[in-house]
Structure 1
């Protein structure tokens, strides 16, 4: 299992708490978003190792994960966040926990970069709906500050509208020139939804290849926005035989040119 220094606590943390080395001279980075479905694949078998192998295929510097099940158990890999953190040799940042009868469940971030700060936004809506939240993390990417906001929004339209307002309000606390990535499972399958139009106005157009369901993807539930938009090099769905089996979602991978952050600030 991962050591305590690898998985960051559920409070704001300084960069010194993370073992990840700095990355001077970084030109391009990759970031992925993946709903791992509690590591349960289409064969109904729970396999954190299989999810870890998909992450290795993706080969990203940062991963936003949804539906991470951290249930204590007898198996070495029962606490999925700790297992993935150790297997990938990356620092793990848990989101607001969702307490179920079996343990903890929710969002998380894995990163190779030093962490400058961590904030957690409670996006829960209504008394009877599943609690939701967003991770809001500042990373040191080769001497450049990058803000990453990762989330998993609700299933109902009114719930998502409320959560989008909270999320975009959070984004607006940074100036437009501050490099920002917003990503996760947005659960918005209608491409002309007002929530997406509002997001595009603030963050720019998000490329959204379909990734759900994994065996025959035709819905774009997962999205990755990058601001400034000119820093976004590509967004692609990771559609391999292993990824098709590992979860009911396929992961998305974005490549970002961090040199364009500086260019945008000076334009």
Structure 2
């Protein structure tokens, strides 16, 4: 069994308008996932510096950031980042360029945990426009399908989809199953299921939810979501 999580961390700016990477790490430590997809993990302007400094991640957590080699100061690509346990092995990683009117991207990595579980992870933050979301969903799935080797796959992120089962959700559902995590936005009073975890047929979700601690309700305008996964068969 392994645990995954997804978190739109809003560039570390909480509902008190204070930027605190330490608070984001506190929330992630409460969840204790093996693999984490982050959205809005980099600052928006300039060098797109990662919100969580590398030394802070190293000193105060059990994770390391997957290096996608796109921008020296960034944690990921267009704000998308993947954290894995420090003892995990990364055998492949890549940015995914998404069609969009404004800069958008996704990231993917093949992760082998110390316990031997293998997982292909995709982290994404899709567009506000429904038409572009569907194009981006198609691009993500095409990228996964083009990989030379099949791995158990989990797709995670902020899909920006308010509908219950239409748009890009309908597209993803043709090939992936959704974890029933629940509403995660807005953190103060969650009503929207904008954040999603989806798994390939060779994985099953044994438990899942929305992390609603006091720290999480203040650290971002989104709440983190999580799921426990097991291989089928």
Q: Do they superpose with TM above 0.5?
A: yes
Q: Choose the corresponding residue for 2:83, options 81, 104, 110.
A: 110
Structure showing greater radius of gyration is 1
CA displacement 1:43-62 (0-9 Å, x = unmatched): 00001111110011011111
1:198 pairs, out of 162, 167, 171, with: 171
Partner secondary structure for residue 223 of structure 1: strand
Superposed displacement of residue 240, structure 1: 1.0
Q: 1:40 aligns with which of 13, 38, 47?
A: 13
Moved over 4 A (4+): 70-73, 94-98, 174-177
1:180 equivalent among 153, 157, 164? 153
CA contact (8 A) 1:200 1:206 kept: no
Aligned residue for 1:115, secondary structure, equals: strand
Change (3 A) 1:120 1:59: same
Rate the CA distance shift 1:61–1:92 in 2: closer, same or farther, 3 A.
Answer: same
* 1:211 paired to 2:211: no
The alpha-carbon distance between structure 1 residues 206 and 197, as it changes in their structure 2 partners (threshold 3 A), is: farther
Aligned equivalents of 2:148 and 2:185: distance in 1? 33
**CA RMSD across the alignment:** 2.8
Q: 1:199 to 1:155 in 2, by over 3 A?
A: same
Counterpart for residue 24 of structure 1: none
Matched, 1:151 2:124: yes
2:92 aligned with 1:120, yes or no? no
Alignment CA distance shift 1:187-1:71 (3 Å): closer
Q: Partners in 2 of 1:176 and 1:197 — Cα distance?
A: 25
Structure with the higher fraction of residues in helix conformation: 1
Question: Aligned residue for 1:82?
Answer: 54
Shift of 1:78: 7.2
Q: Residue 29 of structure 1: CA displacement?
A: 1.1
2:138 is the counterpart of 1:138: no
Which position in structure 1 is the counterpart of 2:74?
none
Q: Which runs of 5+ in 1 are unaligned?
A: 1-27, 99-103
1:195-221 superposed Cα distances (whole Å, 9 cap, x missing partner): 211211101244241000000000000
Q: TM-score, normalised by structure 1?
A: 0.75
- Structure 2 stretches of 5 or more lacking a match? 72-76
Q: What SS does structure 1 have at the residue aligned with 2:163?
A: coil
